[in-house]
Structure 1
Amino acid sequence: MKKRYITIKDIAKAANVSINTVSRALNNKPDINAKTKEKVLKIAEELGYVKNITASSLRNRKSKTIGVIFKDITNPFFVEVLKGIEKATKENDYSLILMDIEKDYELEKKAIQIMAEKRVDGILISPVRKEKKKFNKIMNLNIPYVIIGDHFEEMNADEIYANDLKGGYLATKHLIERGRKKIVFLNVKNHNFVSQSRLQGYKKALKEAKIRINNKIIFDIKEDVNDAYKKILEILENGLSFDSIFCFNDILAYGAIKALREKGIEIPKEIMVVGYDDIIYSSIIDLTTIRIPKFELGYKAFHILFDKMNHKVNKRTKIVLDVELIERKTT
């Protein structure tokens, strides 16, 4: 039976040199004859030698690998964050293992366990739930980690997230400045820091403009395009009066826009729509939205983790990224 992998012993035999000589050549050590090194490397390439990273990791106690756990990789938001992480890992000679937990707490626990079993050096995680006790329990593995895109008020965790209160405020203020007063807010059900911050920003802008907050036009729905579509159809069928919609994210805005267009409602003349995140498709449909620097979010998250993994910082790191309004044709 043919061997699955070529070893340094195989190379040593083919080159008629010692295993130690092969090791020095492959690891670019200075104390080896240049011609011998060239010969060894040529034979290694011809034989199809692949370095055993696992063995190297066991020796160095570092895998040079991080785990990335996202709650919904189908959302283009996380794809753009991942690009930032990937760039940072490549620049620092790290690789990554990505797991999608599909907004499922049990899958989240399993993913963290798998990362521990894979002996990753650290974890970047966008958590499903924020209960301190539950999260502490599953993260109590002595692995450095950074919470990405969310904030846990009472936890001593490293975090990077966006200024969502400002984002909610900017989105709502933008609609008010265009003469809109009956602003539907499609929020999400999970009531985490992000959704609550965007709601606070929404309310802050209304209060500042002395517009009464109407809880009957604030809706908590699933973070799903079809739920947004159905909710707007339901609102229209019930005859609820509104002149604009602010959505928790662009995904919900797409569903809202589909419903409005189906009913022949002109955007933005009759109803204005603002999304959140500025994911890749939003410029195509000319959606006014709040832009989060997604690439930067991922890139900086890795560097926080890198410093933690290499013991460069002892205190908690918390970075809050700024957001901006991107005005397009839905307002």
Structure 2
Amino acid sequence: MKKYVTMRDIAERAMVSVNTVSKVLNNKPDISKETRERVLKAAKELGYIKNVTASALRNSKTKIVGVVLEDTTNLFFAEVLEGIEAAARKYGYRLILMNTQTNLEKQKEAIYTLMEHRVEGILITPTGDGTKDLRKLSEMNFPIVIVGRHLEGLNLDEIHSDEIKGGYIATKHLIEKGRKKILLINSAPKNSAAQMRCEGYRKALREAGIILPEDYIVITHGPNMEGGYQGIKQAFDKGLDFDAVFCYNDMFAFGAIRALRDLGKRVPEDVSVVGYDDVTFASYYCPALTTVRIDRFGLGFNGFKMLLEKMRNRRKKTKHLVLDVELIVRESS
């Protein structure tokens, strides 16, 4: 059985030529009103779906953009994707989404697959320092925008949040609450967001005259909530004495709070916790999570607009857009 209705099927039903069907479906003017209505009626009855891929190949414009994200199970990336999708709909583009699961080989495969499908541009949150594949795209002058990361040495468009400020205001808040032994549960150091949030954390500690051993920066590689849970376990296993935790993201924070509860600690009475991102679930968690708010929708929407400028050749110079952040104080601190 054929999966799709063809122009030939419509032509047989409407008793016209395939060429006539093509003209009607492509809204050509030299067709009579009666013939046009008969063809459109036949197309509707048969359930015809236009083959936009074939049209795109003929016109060398697919109107498709590739999106490569680290982990779509993370609420942060899901909400960034909402912004990308909204912009794509507004400007008449479709998306192909690829998930790398923070794996460099999967990132390479994702980019190759998108190029096979002739996407017009790519929005990507790179994994670690995986710049090799991106450098090739840059040399090809292929439209690409880095979303949520900053990569040194690459002349590519970027949009990300003010991560240093985010790490700073989160840590300063905990210090102002009287906390002095602040644990940082961070992501892999090759992640630029992790590097900059850690820089902000260190800056706030320095300004307050607080000196902590390097052990107070715990690097965890577990995905999402598991990463935060394991980060707390690592700190306890090392015998660290801490009264606050600043987490790389909200997902880590949720896991950290669960681990603290399992270890008999109260949040925030015994240990204050601050997350990062302000995903939708953060205000509904118990206790409601204090966190650094990022404009996730704006990252996606404005990132797509930056890419659109490149795809339409309206801008030659590289653009680097940094979005502001703010601290949202709730019950966990």
With the length of structure 2 as denominator, give the TM-score of the two structures: 0.93
Residue of structure 1 equivalent to 2:232: 232
Assess, with a 3 A threshold, how the Cα gap between structure 1 residues 89 and 12 changes in structure 2: closer, same or farther: same
Residue of structure 2 equivalent to 1:157: 156
CA RMSD of aligned residues (A): 1.9
Separation in structure 2 between the aligned mates of residue 239 and residue 8 of structure 1, nearest angstrom: 72
Assess, with a 3 A threshold, how the Cα gap between structure 1 residues 197 and 15 changes in structure 2: closer, same or farther: same
Q: Which amino acid aligns with 2:324?
A: D
CA contact (8 A) 1:156 1:316 kept: yes
Question: SS at 2:164's partner residue?
Answer: helix
Question: SS at 1:147's partner residue?
Answer: strand
2:28 pairs with 1:29: yes
How far has the Cα of 1:134 moved from its partner?
A: 5.1
Residue of structure 1 equivalent to 2:312: 310
CA contact (8 A) 1:129 1:135 kept: no
Q: Which amino acid aligns with 2:265?
A: I
Q: Which amino acid aligns with 1:75?
A: N
Separation in structure 2 between the aligned mates of residue 236 and residue 133 of structure 1, nearest angstrom: 38
1:112-134 CA deviation, whole Å, 9 max, x = no partner? 11111111111111111325445
Residue of structure 2 equivalent to 1:293: 295
Structure 1 segment 137-152 matched on structure 2, within 5 A: 137=136, 143-152=142-151
Separation in structure 1 between the aligned mates of residue 332 and residue 303 of structure 2, nearest angstrom: 32
Report the more deviating stretch, 293-302 or 4-13. 4-13
How far has the Cα of 1:7 moved from its partner?
A: 2.3
Residue of structure 2 equivalent to 1:320: 322
CA contact (8 A) 2:138 2:156 kept: no
Separation in structure 2 between the aligned mates of residue 300 and residue 176 of structure 1, nearest angstrom: 34
Residue of structure 2 equivalent to 1:99: 98
CA contact (8 A) 2:189 2:195 kept: no
CA contact (8 A) 1:223 1:252 kept: no
1:82-130 CA deviation, whole Å, 9 max, x = no partner? 1111111111221111111111111111111111111111111111132
Report the more deviating stretch, 20-29 or 315-324. 20-29
CA contact (8 A) 2:182 2:216 kept: yes
Separation in structure 1 between the aligned mates of residue 291 and residue 276 of structure 2, nearest angstrom: 5
Residue of structure 2 equivalent to 1:8: 7
Structure 1 segment 177-188 matched on structure 2, within 5 A: 177-188=176-187
Separation in structure 2 between the aligned mates of residue 4 and residue 188 of structure 1, nearest angstrom: 46
Residue of structure 2 equivalent to 1:81: 80
Q: Which amino acid aligns with 1:262?
A: D
How far has the Cα of 1:235 moved from its partner?
A: 2.6
Q: Which amino acid aligns with 2:252?
A: L
Residue of structure 2 equivalent to 1:68: 67
Residue of structure 2 equivalent to 1:273: 273
| Count of residues in correspondence between the two structures | 330
2:255 pairs with 1:255: yes
Separation in structure 1 between the aligned mates of residue 238 and residue 152 of structure 2, nearest angstrom: 38
Structure 1 segment 88-127 matched on structure 2, within 5 A: 88-127=87-126
Assess, with a 3 A threshold, how the Cα gap between structure 1 residues 284 and 84 changes in structure 2: closer, same or farther: same
2:61 pairs with 1:57: no
Alignment match of 1:330 (pick from 311, 315, 332): 332
How far has the Cα of 1:48 moved from its partner?
A: 1.9
Give the gaps of 5 or more residues in structure 2.
none
Separation in structure 2 between the aligned mates of residue 129 and residue 227 of structure 1, nearest angstrom: 16
How far has the Cα of 1:238 moved from its partner?
A: 4.4
Report the more deviating stretch, 117-126 or 212-221. 212-221
Give the gaps of 5 or more residues in structure 1.
none
Assess, with a 3 A threshold, how the Cα gap between structure 1 residues 43 and 131 changes in structure 2: closer, same or farther: closer
Assess, with a 3 A threshold, how the Cα gap between structure 1 residues 231 and 18 changes in structure 2: closer, same or farther: closer
With the length of structure 1 as denominator, give the TM-score of the two structures: 0.93
Question: SS at 2:193's partner residue?
Answer: helix
Question: SS at 2:68's partner residue?
Answer: strand
Q: Which amino acid aligns with 1:181?
A: K
Q: Which amino acid aligns with 2:332?
A: T
Q: Which amino acid aligns with 1:52?
A: N
Question: SS at 2:252's partner residue?
Answer: helix
Separation in structure 2 between the aligned mates of residue 5 and residue 189 of structure 1, nearest angstrom: 47
Question: SS at 2:281's partner residue?
Answer: coil
Separation in structure 1 between the aligned mates of residue 132 and residue 35 of structure 2, nearest angstrom: 59
CA contact (8 A) 1:11 1:40 kept: yes
Assess, with a 3 A threshold, how the Cα gap between structure 1 residues 214 and 61 changes in structure 2: closer, same or farther: same
2:170 pairs with 1:168: no
Question: SS at 1:275's partner residue?
Answer: strand
How far has the Cα of 1:143 moved from its partner?
A: 3.1
Q: Which amino acid aligns with 2:243?
A: D
